[in-house]
Amino acid sequence: MSGDRLDFLRHDEDGLAQELPEMFDETERDLVPWNWPMWARASQLAPQGDWRVWLIMAGRGFGKTRAGSEWVRMVAERDPSARIALVASSLHEARSVMVEGESGLMAVSPPHMRPRYEPSLRRIVWPGGAQALLYSAAEAEALRGPQHSHAWCDEIAKWEDNQGQARRCWDNLMLGLRLGEAPQIVATTTPRAVPLVRRLTAQAHTDGDIVLTRGSTLENEANLPGRFLADVTREFGGTLLGRQELDGELIDDLPGALWTRALIERCREASGSIVMKRVIVGVDPPASAEGDACGIVVCGLCDDGIARVLADATVEKASPERWARAVAEAVLGWSADRVVAEANQGGAMVEAVLRAANAALPLRLVHARRGKVARAEPVAALYEAGRVRHAGLFARLEDELCGLLPGGTYQGPGRSPDRADACVWALTELMLGRAGEPRIWID
């Protein structure tokens, strides 16, 4: 397609191309849907100049996967000798997202240039001869030895980095990138404060070989369902996690915080059907009827000995009747075995309100003898030991956890870490038992 026609379509704000089919012949019309530069936003197109690493760090739904797929497709179609590494956090994700996903390589390739996928060999072969091999970042040593001319690394912030594994995987890939005249890597990821991402973003500010592209979810608003945008805005709007997951910001941790973003990400797993042998609802009641929030967090213990944070049912600026009802609903919804509620502020009132909501509520009132941060320290140690996981994303709860500092200081959102405290109560009951905080006050 000629350059002037392509330029016309990319700036066709009035949709005139729909009314002027005569400007294209039949072959050109068939190719229009597959012409990525015509439809892509500028931030989804490879940067100009001589670069070695292009890091796309943007919010969810930005179109990172599509940008990576289209770049690989462009390389494969232009260079028959290309040998491309496709690296994801696991082989399953490499196949399900990078190859067979809705924005994966098979979906973005036109029928006449569609590659052949050979699952048993973990290999993709294009009609012109270019090849791509799939790798798991969990197997860093698999990249020690193979040589490549190009690579696409997806969601590098999700790569397991236990004992520096993600960084070894990246380094092995770089050392094997020695085919062709100008080897290149595209890395696509949602920003998370993990060591590999921090290293690359720091290098991008000093190394001209690394180009950093940032972007937000809303940049791709035209291609995203309105329901999705409404849901994520309601769930994550106004939170630090929202700035990370939607706006594409790399959120810095507070020095010395008990929880860090990297720690929580290391402990995160997908929500799903998990059999619990015990479920606790932790409650941090507001200090008064006009209190800001009643922290309500549901945690469960599995047969594998690992606790899961299952839900954050916290209610804000609620009357006693309303937050008590929310507790009762959480108990019913999760078939909880017990409610553990802090009773420092009016224990009799807390019990009366909860009993009024449900007389049969399996309630235990506990009295806090230490401050919120002191109670949180042994629970943070459970995270460090890998004994607690988050079954999903809990934006406001995680913001509060990351605001707890040693020495009794809280520097997170709001005046008090109500959600974090409720979570600590529940996990203490599940994992630390009667030997640790909280102390039993009345049963």
CA distance 173 to 367: 54
pLDDT, one tens digit for every residue, the chain (443 residues): 444 444 444 444 445 445 445 556 666 666 778 889 988 999 999 999 889 999 999 999 999 999 999 999 999 999 999 999 999 999 999 999 999 999 999 999 999 899 999 999 999 999 999 999 999 999 999 999 899 999 999 999 999 887 889 999 999 999 999 999 999 999 999 998 888 998 999 998 888 899 999 999 999 999 899 999 998 888 888 888 888 889 998 888 888 899 998 899 889 887 777 789 999 999 998 876 556 789 999 999 998 999 999 999 999 988 888 888 898 899 989 999 999 988 766 556 667 777 776 667 788 888 777 777 788 999 999 999 999 999 999 999 999 999 999 877 888 888 889 999 999 999 999 998 753 343 333 33
Look at residue 441 in the predicted model and tell me its pLDDT: 36
Residues of the domain holding 401: 261-442
Determine if the peptide bond prior to 255 is cis (ω within 30°): no
Largest distance between two CA atoms of the chain: 82
Based on the structure, what is the number of domains in the chain? Answer: 2
Question: Where do we find the tokens 């924005």?
Answer: 103
CA distance 422 to 285: 9
- Is position 238 within any domain? no
Q: Which of 173, 201, 223 is the last residue of a domain?
A: 223
Angle at 250 between CA 245 and CA 253, to 5 degrees: 110
Look at residue 347 in the predicted model and tell me its pLDDT: 54
Look at residue 240 in the predicted model and tell me its pLDDT: 84
Look at residue 63 in the predicted model and tell me its pLDDT: 95
Look at residue 250 in the predicted model and tell me its pLDDT: 87
CA distance 157 to 166: 9
Segment (H or E) for 215: strand 210-215
Based on the domain organization, do 290 and 191 belong to the same domain? no
What CATH number is associated with residue 317?
Answer: 3.30.420.280
Look at residue 288 in the predicted model and tell me its pLDDT: 63
Is there a contact between 124 and 115 (Cβ–Cβ < 8 Å)? yes
Based on the domain organization, do 113 and 51 belong to the same domain? yes
Contacts of 313 (CB under 8 A, 6+ apart): 281, 296, 297, 298, 326, 327, 329, 330
Angle at 128 between CA 150 and CA 91, to 5 degrees: 45
Which residues sit opposite 389 in a β-bridge? 308
In terms of DSSP bridges, do strands 307-312 and 293-302 run parallel, antiparallel, or are they unpaired? antiparallel
Based on the domain organization, do 369 and 437 belong to the same domain? yes
What CATH number is associated with residue 98?
Answer: 3.40.50.300
CA distance 341 to 296: 9
Question: Where do we find the tokens 């507070």?
Answer: 254
Based on the domain organization, do 71 and 216 belong to the same domain? yes
Look at residue 341 in the predicted model and tell me its pLDDT: 87
- Is position 377 within any domain? yes
Based on the domain organization, do 53 and 184 belong to the same domain? yes
Is there a contact between 311 and 409 (Cβ–Cβ < 8 Å)? no
- Is position 12 within any domain? no
Is there a contact between 404 and 322 (Cβ–Cβ < 8 Å)? no
Q: Which of 159, 194, 223 is the last residue of a domain?
A: 223
Within 13 A of 55's CA, how many CA atoms are on the CB side? 24
Based on the domain organization, do 205 and 335 belong to the same domain? no
**3-class secondary structure, 339:** strand
Question: Where do we find the tokens 């009794």?
Answer: 408
Based on the domain organization, do 304 and 424 belong to the same domain? yes
Is there a contact between 347 and 365 (Cβ–Cβ < 8 Å)? yes
Based on the domain organization, do 212 and 346 belong to the same domain? no
Based on the domain organization, do 84 and 163 belong to the same domain? yes
Based on the domain organization, do 285 and 216 belong to the same domain? no
Look at residue 20 in the predicted model and tell me its pLDDT: 45
CA distance 352 to 237: 35
Q: Which of 162, 194, 223 is the last residue of a domain?
A: 223
Phi then psi for 212, rounded to 5 degrees? -110, 125
Cα 169 to Cα 88, 149, 161, 173: the distances in Å are 11, 16, 9, 6
Based on the domain organization, do 269 and 196 belong to the same domain? no
CA distance 213 to 231: 26
- Is position 240 within any domain? no
* Tokens of residue 130, six digits: 């270019």
* Tokens of residue 240, six digits: 């630090």
pTM: 0.73
- Is position 255 within any domain? no
- Is position 198 within any domain? yes
Based on the domain organization, do 217 and 276 belong to the same domain? no
Look at residue 49 in the predicted model and tell me its pLDDT: 87
- Is position 26 within any domain? no
- Is position 69 within any domain? yes
